[in-house]
């Protein structure tokens, strides 16, 4: 009984406690220029917060992705490298974790104007806050939540939700949000000029804007009319914000302007 208790404790320790928890600080080659940060995580999650500093601060937390059988009397040989690889060259920072057997959760502080490319294959998804650069991200099986951003943003999930709270909308470059069956929710100021274009086959649309959606197609093709894009011009229209789902619902909420 005592042996079993010890075994349970060891197993619990492998599951719950971090194998490695490390902090890294990356100096940029030119702190005056904005940084491009590429993050690839095969199994885990990424949280990024923009701040006033000029270094990239990374905290990694690595835990085993699965529980093992009785291995108290044997040595573990692993081919799966749980380390996080970090490189910087001319303000381009690459943070890569290709581990599958370990869950790698990253919390990263970046200069506010940084451009981000984030690719998470499976796990807990992506959280972004207060970053004003270009954002490209795919969360695989996880969800995406971005707050206080101005885009342009390109975001993609499979079955989990995408929630974007826009502080403003970049007027020179388009944004695109795609989910197969996850809901897409945007909070946007009623003062923002935009053309919100929605394409959903089985999803429902909920909008807090008083303007009516219009079919983009003006042709006589009834198939194009039925399955074409719906367009909602905010304040007379502006930069394109495309939303595309298969069965996920779409929520557009007007933010109260300060």
Partner 1 sequence: MNSQSILMAKITYLSGNSESDLDTEMTSYVADNPVLAKEIQFVESFWQQPSEIVLEQPSEELDQRFYQMLDQAKVAQKSLSTADKKKQSLNVLHWLTNVLAPKPFTQFASLALVFAIGFNMNNHQIPSNNQSLDGLQKQVESLSSLVALSMINNGSTSERLTGVSYSLQTNEQNEQLNLALMKLLNNDRSSAVRLSVIDALSARTSVKAFEAELLDSIDKQIHPVVQIGLIKLLVNKGSNTSLSKLKVKSANNQLSIEAREFIDQLLAQRYI
Residues lying near partner 1 in the complex (CB under 8 A) are found at 36, 90, 115, 117, 119, 134-138, 152-156, 172-174, 176-178, 180, 199, 201, 221-224, 226-227, 229, 240, 242, 244-246
Closer to partner 1 by Cβ: residue 103 or 135: 135
Could you tell me the smallest distance in angstroms from the CB atom of residue 242 to partner 1?
7
Output the smallest distance, CB 71 to partner 1, in A: 37
Q: Is 106 exposed, middle or buried (0-12, 13-18, 19+ CB in 10 A)?
A: buried
Contact 124, 85 (CB under 8 A): no
Would you call the peptide bond into 152 cis, given omega within 30 degrees of 0 as the criterion?
Answer: yes
3-state SS of 216-234?
Answer: CCCCCCHHHHHHCCEEEEE
Six-digit token string for 127:
């959280």
Q: Smallest distance, Å, CB 154 to partner 1?
A: 5
Place of tokens 């998470």: 120
**Of residues 242 and 254, the one with the C-beta less far from partner 1:** 242
115 or 249: whose CB is closer to partner 1?
A: 115
* Side-chain half-sphere CA neighbours of 143 within 13 A: 12
* Least Cβ distance, residue 129 to partner 1 (angstroms): 18
Nearer to partner 1, 97 or 138 (CB): 138
HSE of 43 in the Cβ direction (CA atoms, 13 Å)? Answer: 15
For residue 257, the minimal CB distance to partner 1 (Å) is: 26
Alpha-carbon dihedral sign for residues 221, 226, 231, 232: positive
User: For residues 28 and 82, which CB has a smaller minimum distance to partner 1 in the complex?
Assistant: 28
């Amino acid at each position: 009984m005592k042996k079993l208790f010890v075994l349970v404790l060891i197993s619990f320790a492998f599951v719950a406690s971090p194998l490695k928890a490390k902090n890294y600080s990356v100096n940029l080659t030119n702190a005056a220029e904005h940084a491009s940060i590429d993050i690839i995580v095969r199994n885990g999650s990424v949280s990024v917060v923009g701040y006033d500093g000029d270094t990239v601060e990374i905290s990694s937390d690595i835990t085993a992705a699965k529980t093992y059988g009785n291995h108290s009397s044997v040595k573990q040989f692993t081919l799966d490298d749980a380390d996080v690889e970090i490189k910087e060259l001319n303000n381009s920072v690459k943070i890569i974790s290709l581990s599958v057997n370990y869950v790698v959760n990253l919390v990263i502080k970046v200069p506010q104007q940084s451009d981000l490319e984030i690719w998470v294959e499976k796990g807990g998804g992506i959280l972004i806050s207060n970053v004003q650069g270009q954002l490209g991200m795919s969360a695989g099986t996880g969800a995406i939540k971005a707050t206080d951003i101005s885009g342009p943003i390109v975001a993609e999930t499979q079955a989990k939700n995408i929630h974007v709270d826009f502080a403003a909308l970049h007027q020179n470059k388009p944004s695109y949000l795609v989910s197969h069956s996850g809901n897409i929710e945007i909070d946007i100021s009623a003062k923002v000029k935009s053309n919100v274009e929605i394409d959903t086959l089985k999803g429902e649309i909920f909008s807090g804007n008083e303007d009516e959606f219009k079919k983009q197609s003006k042709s006589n093709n009834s198939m194009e009319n039925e399955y074409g894009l719906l367009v909602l011009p905010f304040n007379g229209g502006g930069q394109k914000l495309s939303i595309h789902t298969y069965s996920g619902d779409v929520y557009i909420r007007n933010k109260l302007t300060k």
